[in-house]
Structure formats: C-alpha cells, structure tokens
C-alpha cells in the first residue's frame, strides 16, 4: 500500500506540474472530485459533445454539487448566508428570464443559465409580480366585460389578491419541494447521473412562471379563443423548459416512472394556468338573467345574450 | 532649574479652594441637556425634522440628512391617513370590496420591509430603518393623490372624474418612485440598481392601484 500511495503522489505531482505549465489543459479526475475553479468548467468539454453534456449535465454534475455546497459556507443563522442567494447582477437575471421564455431545444436551463449559482431574487419577485398582475388583470377584464350592464357596480375585488398570493407562492415552493423529495428518493434507488439541489429546482420553477405575466396581461382581451390560445402557447413554452430540465434527471429510471413524473410536472403547470384563468377572469359570455320573450304560439323563447 | 533648588515642603499645607469647570451653553454635548428643556421645544424639534423631510420628498435632491436622521413618525402618519381614506370602499358582499384598514397597513409596512431586506440582501449599504424611513416618506405624493381623488369623487363618479383621477394618480406614482429612487440609488451596488428599483416600482404601483380603484359606496 505504501507503493500505491507513492504512485498516487507521483501522479498528482505530475498532474500539478502539467496544470501549472498549461493552465488551460483538460484534466480528468478519476477518484475523488477535484476542486476545479469555476472558469474552467466550460473548457472541460470537447466542442462536439457540448450539447449533449449541456443537456445531461454529465460534465460537472457532482462538481457542481460540490461547488454549490462550498458557496454556502456561512452558518445559516447569519445574514451572509442568505446574501449568497442574491448574488446575481441585473444582466444575469435578464438572461435567465430570456432563457425561460425562449427555450433553446437541447439546452438545459439549469446547466446553461443557473450554473451552480441559484438565486432567490428571480423566483420571489416573479411570483410577486405574477400575483399582482393576475389580480389587476382579472379586475380590469371583469370591468370591461361587465361595463355597460345596468346592474353592474364596479368592485375592486381585493380579496382575490390574497388568494392569488397563496396559490402562486404555494405552487412555487411546495411543488419544487415535493419534486426534490421525489427525485432524492429515486436517486437513492437508481443511480441518476443528473441531480439538482432544492434551490435549483425552485429557481427553474420561479423563472418558468415568468411567461404567465404577459399572458395574464393579454387575458384581459375578452375572447375565449384568444385566452385558450394564450394558455396553450405559454404552457408549451414554460412546459418545455421544465421538461428539458427534468427529463435528464429521470430518464435513467424506470421508463414508466420517468414518464409519469414529467407528465405530473406538466399537469400541475397546466392546472395552475387554467385555474387562474377560470377563477380570476370571468367568462366573456357571462349569463345575466336572459329576458324571456313569449312567442306567438305560446311557447317561451329564451334569448342568449353575448 | 535653579529656582527650584530650595523648594521644600516640610509640613502639610492644606490645599483648599474651588474647582469649577465652566459649562458653556454651546458645548458640543448639548444633546445630553435636553432633559431640562420644556416639552414644547422637544416636540417642535421633532416636528421640524419631520417637516423638513416632507419638504425633501417634495423636492427630491440627493441629500444625506434624510438618510442620516431617520424617523418613522412621518411614515406612520401617512400610512394611517392613507388607510383611513381608503375606508368606505366596501361593496355589498365583504369579499369583493376594497382593502380594509389592516390590509392597507400590512401591505405598506410589510412591503417596505421586504423591499428593504431585498436591497440589503443584494448588497446595499443603507441601514434597515433608513430605508424604511425613505420608503415611508415617499408615500406622501400618493397620500396627496388619495386626497385629491376623494375630493374629485365628491363631485361625481363619471368618466371625466376617472380620467382626472388617472392622471393625478399616475403623476404621483411617478413622483413617488423617482423620489425614493433618488434617495436610495446611491447606496446600491452599481450593476444591481435595476434589481433594487423594480420592487420599489411594484410597491408604489400596488398602492396606486388601490387608490385608483377606490369606489365609494
């Protein structure tokens, strides 16, 4: 065993010398994950396999985990610990929002944009904006739909703000928690190549909700067809971001469980959109008591109002 | 030292006298002597400080006095008056009305705390209460807008009054946001200014929305 130790030391020495001489060289670690500074991540892959690795995250998943764990080194009761979750600049937040709205086929949102720096700024403020956007848009839309009707008196419907806040924040935090717990459980049974930390999942979910903000504004238009087209469109965009993120994390599992997981993710996302549309926005053809007109032959005809 | 050669103290000479340190009326630690001043002086000093801050909000300039001597009297008065004026907007069913007193109060204070925490987490150098003070004082234009809206609504609730209210509330919303940004922007890291300003914008937008949608019964 002494010979083995000497051999390992020699190897490490050689590698250190090589690295010192040529810092841009590609290094492959065999046993333990070696601490690699962040700026060498992107040079660890050959250009041809970049896309696959971006999607699978095979290149740096465990090193990413290590670095993510290293960043939060302050104890959790200090202010500095929480500051590490807000370590983003304006352009980074804008990039992440762009990445959630225009999903590039084949690119994994987490690997491409988050890169072991998950932030809580985006999820929190996107959810806050979405809450108020849905409440305000719903109120405006109801106002325009019922405008002109003699019995209509405008109400601000302020209660709905608290309901919207509860729903959206619960979705943005509890669903990632459940998903993370589920993925951890599957990880213990099946060795998955890709695994995400809880904050990364919260990040993906938070940024994927961004598309619903312009959708909610456009839902003011009182046409059923327009609203449903918008639902489908936004669901496709944000759903594809979620699918491309989570498919690599479950594809090594039992095929049925993988498909069921992804289907549940999409279903919950769709449920949120449809639920918000149904609850906060009155249907355009709202039924006011229709006048009953007695017809000539004595039968009553009820006219439908548009 | 030839003169001291023959100085000797052979017996105990009692030393007595008075030692007084004259305390001038303009000594630097004047604060410690505010205990003896008449109550009117104390109140007037605080009122003057609050009034000076209101003037600062009216004409926002980058000034450090607003930040240094923070107080929360102004925000409290503004918040309570705004919440009181937003009363009376409830509809037939309790569920659909405007915000209640407690809701307005909670939104303003909780919103200000969250924005302050957000700017501190992003690396801002402003202190917690200074930021609360600025955000609270900058609600003043919106309180003025609420007053104007109630007066306009006394005259009638038609389309013209709505347009007037929209213009007034919109202008005051812009004023509030600009005033608070002018005070708070310097203390933020340069490449995160937009991240700090956006929640302030959202905060005043929500308050403006509550003011604009106020409909008396």
The per-residue DSSP string of chain A comes to -HHHHHHHHHHHHHHHHHHHH-TT------SSPPP--GGGGGGGS-GGGHHHHHHH-TTTHHHHHHHHHHH--S-TTSHHHHHGGG---HHHHHHHHHHHHSPPTT--HIIIIITT---SHHHHHHHHHHHHHHHHHHHHHHHHHHTT-TT------THHHHHHHHHHHHHHHHHHHHHHHHHHHHHHHS--S----HHHHHHHHHHHGGGHHHHHHHTTS--HHHHHHHHHHHHHHHHHHHHHHHHHHHTTS-HHHHHHHHHHHHHHHHHHHHHHHHHHS--SS----PPEEE-TTS-EEEPPP-
Per DSSP, helices labelled H in chain B are 39-58, 64-68, 73-85, 101-121, 128-137, 140-155, 159-184, 193-212
Contact yes or no for B121 and A136 at CB 8 A: no
- A78: phi then psi, degrees, rounded to nearest 5: -100, 160
Shortest CA gap B95–chain A (Å):
6
Sorted by sequence, the CB contacts under 8 Å of residue A163 that are 6+ apart come out as A279
For A37-101, the three-class secondary structure string (H helix, E strand, C coil) is CHHHHHHHCCHHHHHHHHHHCCCCHHHHHHHHHHHCCCCCCCHHHHHHHHCCCHHHHHHHHHHHH
**Tens digits of per-residue pLDDT, A56-73?**
444 444 444 444 444 557
Asked if the model's pLDDT at residue A202 lies above 60, the reply is yes
The tens digit of pLDDT for each residue in B168-202 reads 999 999 999 998 888 887 788 888 888 899 999 99
| For the ranges A158-162, B13-17, B152-156, B169-173, the one whose mean pLDDT is highest | B169-173
How far is residue B75's CA from residue B133's CA, in Å, rounded to a whole number?
A: 7
- Of A74-88, A277-291, B161-175, the range with the lowest mean pLDDT is A277-291
Tens of pLDDT, residue by residue over B10-62, are 677 778 887 877 765 554 555 567 778 888 888 888 888 888 888 878 877 76
The answer for residues whose C-beta is within 8 angstroms of residue B131's C-beta and 6 or more apart is: B112, B115, B116, B119, B120, B124, B184
A–B interface: beta-carbon pairs under 8 A: 68
Long-range CB contacts (within 8 A, 24+) of A218-225: A219/A137, A219/A138, A219/A141, A219/A277, A219/A281, A220/A137, A220/A140, A220/A141, A220/A144, A222/A141, A222/A144, A222/A145, A222/A284, A223/A284, A224/A283, A224/A284, A224/A285
Q: Rounded to the nearest 10 degrees, what angle do helices A159-189 and A255-280 cross at?
A: 180
Least confident segment among A52-56, A145-149, A249-253: A52-56
Answer yes or no: do A158 and B122 touch at CB < 8 A.
no
CB B133 within 8 A of CB B116: no
Q: Shortest CA distance to A285 belongs to which of A234, A227, A212?
A: A227
| Cβ atoms B89, B216 nearer than 8 A | yes
What per-residue confidence (pLDDT) applies to A46?
A: 43
Cβ <8 Å between B213 and A139:
yes
Q: Which of A98, A14, A87, A65 lies closest to A193 in space, CA to CA?
A: A65
Q: Output the pLDDT for position A34.
A: 42
- The alpha-carbon radius of gyration of chain A (Å, integer) is 26
A142 touches B: beta carbon within 8 Å: no
Section A112-135 average pLDDT = 88
Query: Which residues of B touch chain A, with CB atoms under 8 Å apart?
Result: 89, 91-92, 95-99, 103, 118, 120-123, 191-195, 198-199, 202, 205-206, 209-210, 213-215
Q: How confident is the model at residue A51 (pLDDT cuts 50, 70, 90)?
A: very low
Please say if the pLDDT value at position B110 is more than 90. yes
Rg (CA), chain B: 27
Would you state the pLDDT for residue A287? 43
Nearest CA in chain A to B119: A86
CB contact under 8 A, B215 and A93: no
Contacts of A212 (CB under 8 A, 6+ apart): A130, A134, A234, A238, A273, A276
Mean pLDDT, chain A, as a whole number?
Answer: 75
Instruction: Read off the pLDDT of residues A88-112 as tens digits, 9 standing for 90 and up.
Output: 888 888 988 888 888 887 777 777 7
**Is-above-0.80 flag for pTM?**
no
Mutation site, B97, B100, B121, interface A, largest A CB count within 10 A:
B121
- Domain extents in chain B: 70-88+98-213
Q: What are A122's two structure tokens? A: 């985006």
CA–CA separation, B139 vs B108, rounded Å?
9
Is the minimum CB–CB distance between A93 and chain B shorter than 8 Å?
Answer: yes
Q: Are B195 and A88 a contacting pair at CB < 8 A?
A: yes
The CA distances from residue A77 to A81, A117, A140, in Å, are 7, 20, 43
Please, what is the average pLDDT of chain B?
A: 82
């Amino acid at each position: 065993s002494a010979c083995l130790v000497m051999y390992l030391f020699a190897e490490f020495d050689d590698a250190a010398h090589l690295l010192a001489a040529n810092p841009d060289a590609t290094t492959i670690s065999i046993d333990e994950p070696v601490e690699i500074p962040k700026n060498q991540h992107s040079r660890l892959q050959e250009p041809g396999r970049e896309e696959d690795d971006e999607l699978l995250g095979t290149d740096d998943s465990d090193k990413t985990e290590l670095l993510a764990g290293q960043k939060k080194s302050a104890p959790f009761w200090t202010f500095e610990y929480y500051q590490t979750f807000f370590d983003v600049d304006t352009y980074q937040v804008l990039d992440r929002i762009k990445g959630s709205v225009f999903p590039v086929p084949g690119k994994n949102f987490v690997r491409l944009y988050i890169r072991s720096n998950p932030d809580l700024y985006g999820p929190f403020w996107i959810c806050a904006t979405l809450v108020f956007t849905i409440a305000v848009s719903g109120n405006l839309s109801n106002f325009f739909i019922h405008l002109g009707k003699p019995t209509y008196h405008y109400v601000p419907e302020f209660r709905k703000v608290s309901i919207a806040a509860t729903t959206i924040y619960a979705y943005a935090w509890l669903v990632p928690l459940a998903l993370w717990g589920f993925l951890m459980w599957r990880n213990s049974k099946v060795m998955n190549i890709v695994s995400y930390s809880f904050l990364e999942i919260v990040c993906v979910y938070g940024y994927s909700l961004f598309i619903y903000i312009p959708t909610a504004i456009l839902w003011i238009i009182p046409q059923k067809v327009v609203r449903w087209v918008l639902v489908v469109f936004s669901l496709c965009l944000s759903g594809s971001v979620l699918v491309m993120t989570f498919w690599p994390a479950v594809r090594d599992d039992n095929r049925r469980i993988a498909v069921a997981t992804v289907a549940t993710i999409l279903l919950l996302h769709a449920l949120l959109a449809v639920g918000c549309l149904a609850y906060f926005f009155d249907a355009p053809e709202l039924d006011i008591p229709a006048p009953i007109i007695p017809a000539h032959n004595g039968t009553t005809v009820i006219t439908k109002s548009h | 030292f030839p003169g001291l050669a023959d100085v000797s103290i052979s017996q105990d000479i009692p030393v007595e006298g008075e030692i007084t340190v004259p305390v001038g009326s303009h000594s630097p630690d004047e604060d410690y002597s505010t205990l003896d001043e008449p109550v009117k002086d104390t109140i007037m000093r605080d009122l003057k400080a609050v009034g000076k801050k209101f003037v600062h909000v009216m004409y926002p300039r980058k000034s450090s006095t607003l930040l240094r001597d923070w107080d929360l009297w102004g925000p409290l008065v503004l918040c309570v008056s705004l919440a009181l004026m937003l009363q009376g907007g409830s509809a037939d069913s309790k569920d659909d009305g405007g915000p209640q007193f407690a809701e307005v109060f909670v939104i303003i204070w909780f919103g200000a705390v969250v924005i302050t925490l957000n700017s501190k987490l992003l690396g801002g150098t402003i202190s917690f209460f200074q930021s609360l003070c600025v955000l609270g004082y900058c609600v003043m234009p919106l309180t003025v807008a609420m007053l104007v809206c109630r007066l306009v609504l006394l005259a009638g609730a038609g389309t013209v009054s709505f347009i007037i209210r929209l213009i007034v509330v919109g202008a005051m919303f812009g004023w509030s946001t600009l005033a608070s940004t002018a005070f708070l922007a310097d203390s933020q890291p340069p490449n995160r200014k937009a991240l700090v300003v956006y929640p302030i914008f959202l905060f005043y937008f929500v308050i403006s929305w509550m003011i604009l949608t106020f409909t008396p019964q």
